[in-house]
Structure 1
């Protein structure tokens, strides 16, 4: 059975706890207890090194262990530098150091779950009058980020502390499609409307909208198999919730979205743009864009310059095609009719398009 591990926020939190404990009682611990919050359990995390930098500052190091997951952050070191502050408007000030990416507005890429994890675990150790500054450092983060899609989501110069749970499920490991299918089977028992979230960004955004977690399924790249399984479990409605650079593939009939298997995203966008009557020179610009995100930005710039509405028209067309192709795919393989709606968002987690079916489903979910 593949082994689960923990997400990056857990190791950042463990390092911070170890460094704070050194400041408080000058002890170097080999493990620390971290309350994961989600799920509701406490786990022991190994500490690789702890060192006092000065009486006011300490550094601790952990190494990422995502379990049997094909995760490029495996064994990467996570440093936490904790220092006392004499006065501060908040007890814990979190700062991004080298290798921790930052958002386009300059804030460190420490998302809601990681913030909650750090605040809850560290506040338990602090006296009311104690204030600390926590600097999170990922020495390998800048290099590793070049191999991720972080930049597509507006995170630059490093990795992000992203996730909605402390457990890293090995969903990308070989043979783990079955784990995703089991999630569909389990949730279909009590919900006939499911929300398929493509990756952590989709899952996090869906939860922020207030959608019931019991209706959320994190899908990874196996959308076709999961759509069919949901129909077989008599699910009546499915909302697809994901980054436009992933979901656009479904508009072209590509139901396994990993880029190693098939791409065609820019070709699909260009074909829909041609159907809408965009001029040849502009079609060429879309087709020759380096990414779907840059194609979207080109269309936004075009709309601003000319007063057109190409972004909305094009992405509404793509969303409608995703719905239709998904419904047809399910019916072809199961002879069952399932209503499918789609919500597409950009790198800033701004929703770009919501299909007509998706609007109906969202009104039931939110």
Structure 2
């Protein structure tokens, strides 16, 4: 499979790109009689990767091709997954079907209707494009059923946001560009946005964004929120709050450990350690304790100064978050320690 380097990191290809390549190769066999040794497609932004066939099978009226997904140097849970497409002749245009390991949409709010296979719009368009291309090449009517399956896809999906988004039974076929860019924030932020869409479509009035698993468990237990109210904010406070400004809900709780909440309180909206740092001189000013300026971590600063600091952080984090979402959303914040104990709360 050809790749182009991004610096020292390799980019890879989405499940949607792999499914499109498998569809094209299977159609060449179905309508042309022989499998290609590899298959090339053109992605939405003009890239033209080549994919070797990892599986090639055919019978009367059907053909099947598997492409092994290579996510490049991105830590993608679907790296190495086999994306299998089976094509069959159809009298009704292009039809999509979820095979083993591909999920079904069960909640409104996603770009695919409830009851449909979790194959996103751009991959559908890409596959429809290769159907038209190969049909024209062999003089065939562009009527085909496309069934996508991913062995172990249901198990892999448990490591993704799919269960929380109401996608049952497996993985989604994703990708807007066809390219996986190593360590890209875009996929995570897109998943946050889809989580908000699902929560709004279900009529939820209260959702929460947390910085990690411990804070999420604490906040969910505290308020008795359902799973799909818990938005996987992680470090991307800005990605969550800016989207909520345009797509509001009544109430949002922001929860996290004291370090990341201190960054938010000081104005950071990307809370990753490589992109923002706690300013201990500011913490020292807040609590009027010069020794806090010499702390190594926000937790150590809290241990020096006590509840006064955690309350400052909760209040200022709430003010910063409120400034990002505007007046349509009510914000409250919760700061926890490493054990998940609440050490400060702030409400409007």
Question: Mean Cα displacement is larger for which, 45-54 or 147-156?
Answer: 45-54
C-alpha separation between the residues in 2 aligned to 1:294 and 1:150?
Answer: 13
Which of 12, 31, 34 is the equivalent residue of 2:41? 34
**Deviation of residue 268 (structure 1)?**
3.7
Which has the larger Rg? Answer: 2
Unaligned runs of 5+ in 1: 173-179, 181-195, 208-243, 250-256, 272-282, 297-312, 344-352, 358-366
| 1:189-338 equivalence runs, <5 A | 198-202=188-192, 248-249=209-210, 257-259=211-213, 263-268=214-219, 286=224, 292-293=227-228, 316=251, 318=253, 326=264, 328-330=266-268, 333=279
Is 1:47 the equivalent of 2:53? yes
> Structure 1-normalised TM-score?
0.56
CA drift at 1:20: 0.2
Mapping of residues 1-366 of structure 1, within 5 Å: 1-37=8-44, 39-54=45-60, 56-85=61-90, 87-88=91-92, 91-104=93-106, 105-127=114-136, 129-171=141-183, 198-202=188-192, 248-249=209-210, 257-259=211-213, 263-268=214-219, 286=224, 292-293=227-228, 316=251, 318=253, 326=264, 328-330=266-268, 333=279, 340-342=323-325, 355=329
- Compute the displacement of 1:100 (Å): 0.5
- State the alpha-carbon separation in 1 of the partners of residues 324 and 130 from structure 2: 39
> Aligned-residue CA RMSD in angstroms?
4.0
The answer for the alignment partner of 2:294 in structure 1 is none
Tell me the distance in 1 between the aligned counterparts of 2:160 and 2:196: 22
User: Shift in Å at residue 136 of structure 1?
Assistant: 0.6
Instruction: State the Cα distance separating 1:67 from its structure 2 match.
Output: 0.5
Indicate if the aligned counterparts of 1:109 and 1:155 stay in contact, CA closer than 8 A: yes
Displacement after TM superposition at 1:164 (Å): 2.2
Paired residues, number: 241
Secondary structure of 1:164's counterpart equals coil
What is the CA–CA distance in structure 1 between the aligned matches of 2:63 and 2:328, rounded to whole Å?
A: 48
Q: Tell whether the 8 Å contact from 1:162 to 1:200 is kept in structure 2 after alignment.
A: no
- C-alpha displacement at 1:295, in angstroms? 7.7
- 1:361 maps to none
Q: Which ranges in structure 2 are unaligned for 5 or more consecutive residues?
A: 1-7, 107-113, 198-205, 232-247, 270-277, 283-318, 332-348
Q: Contact (CA 8 Å) 2:165, 2:194: kept in 1 or not?
A: no
